[in-house]
Amino acid sequence: MQNPEMLRTISNPRVLEAFHQIHTGMDTLRREAPQLLPPGL
């Protein structure tokens, strides 16, 4: 990744926490309500 602005953005602790929350939420949806997600998502 060569874009300095993108590197700054993804090293922001709040951005990293938001990605973690998204990941955790997607895991929960895959387990609890798989019919809501398209295959492979």
pLDDT at 1: 59
| Domain range annotation of the chain | 4-36
- pLDDT tops 90 at residue 41: no
Q: What is the pLDDT of residues 4-38, one digit of tens each?
A: 999 999 899 999 999 999 999 999 999 999 999 98
Q: How far apart are CA 41 and CA 7, in angstroms?
A: 25
Residues 6+ apart with CB under 8 A from 18: none
- Size (the chain), residues: 41
pLDDT at 29: 96
Q: How far apart are CA 34 and CA 41, in angstroms?
A: 10
